[in-house]
Amino acid sequence: MHEPTESPAPPATPAVLISEVGPRDGLQSVSAVMSTRHKRAWIDALHASGLREIEVGSFVPARMLPQMADVAEIVRHATALPGWTVMALVPNLRGALAALEAGVHKLTVPVSASEAHSLANVRRSRIDMVAVVREIVALRDATAPGVPVEIGMSTAFGCTLQGAVPEDEVVWLAGQLVAAGVDEIGLSDTTGMANPAQVRRLFGRVRAAIGDKTGSAHLHNTRGLGLANCLAAWDVGVRTFDASLGGLGGCPYAPGASGNVVTEDLVFMFEAMGVDTGVDLARLIAARETLRAGLPGEPLYGMVPDAGVPAGFPDRRPGGPERSGQIRTDDRH
């Protein structure tokens, strides 16, 4: 078993943690396959921006997702970079074993709140997935006890297959997963159906049920509510947010629409509010060029890269100078 690389903590803990999911959620949502060389360069650019958590891939068979065929190599590259948490998605025990052998710092397991989505996506019921999670936790405990197991609870805010997902079922499933031994549970707006009132209410209910094991908000901008929903989650105490550079990973349920929240826009929102992310926005925007080089012609989204950063926008990193002028790229959708 490959021991996960210990990474030193960054100099200061940001007020919010932005978890970059583009190399996994973004890449597996597009048809093109980015080369390993370009993936390494992109991950280097993301790390240089100050991001301190990244989901680098999925441990699934290459025949199912050719985009993830080199995931073990990418994990080894990312874990060699200091000061951040490298995680990977694992849908089953085999994937978890491979991810731990590669040296990930964190495992994330997808579990659907919608029974219909669970059966269609992984061909298992929700309660069967709880049993899978229990096996993964047991493997972690036996081989890599320092590696957290996180649940990304998909379709928590609605499902295109069954429609509404009762909040009581989300809370019930969260309780089952905590009993299975997971470290945290994030809620995902897989289909882009959430609204701010719903986000506040559901995160509040889950937090009341499982306390500090309530994890990240994975919210989509499919219908233009991504940032509003992130702010609603912030209002009720969520401090980790998933996002994808350039909004990579369009939503398959709304062709032509942006899917994932754009990392650049999310960082700008929090920094403009005076909430420290620890991310250098200029370097983050510059990382789009590395992404574009690896996926030429793939649409990239984001309001901030188009409009530019206002003059005087502060660099809120400790000791950072005030920025002057505008940071801007020539991106257009």
The catalytic residues are 251
Q: H or E segment at 16? A: none
Task: Judge whether 33 and 64 are in contact, CB under 8 Å.
Answer: no
Task: Judge whether 216 and 242 are in contact, CB under 8 Å.
Answer: yes
Phi/psi of residue 65, each to 5°?
Answer: -135, 90
274 — alpha (psi -120 to 50), left (phi > 0) or beta? Answer: left
HSE value, Cβ hemisphere, 13 Å, CA-based, for 263:
36
Task: Judge whether 263 and 25 are in contact, CB under 8 Å.
Answer: no
Give first-to-last CA distance, the chain, whole Å: 44
CA angle at residue 128 from 158 to 193, to 5 degrees?
10
CA angle at residue 43 from 291 to 33, to 5 degrees?
50
Residue whose structure tokens are 């080894």: 76
Residue whose structure tokens are 């990304």: 152
DSSP 39: H
Strands (E), the chain: 17-20, 53-58, 85-89, 106-112, 149-154, 184-188, 214-218, 240-243
Q: Which of 30, 36, 24, 26 is nearest to 74 (CA)?
A: 36
Q: Which residues of 140-161 are buried (b: 16+ CB within 10 A; e: fewer)?
A: beeebeebbbbbbbbbbbbbbe
Q: Which of 169, 160, 174 is nearest to 222 (CA)?
A: 160
Cβ-based neighbours of 61, under 8 Å, separated by 6 or more: none
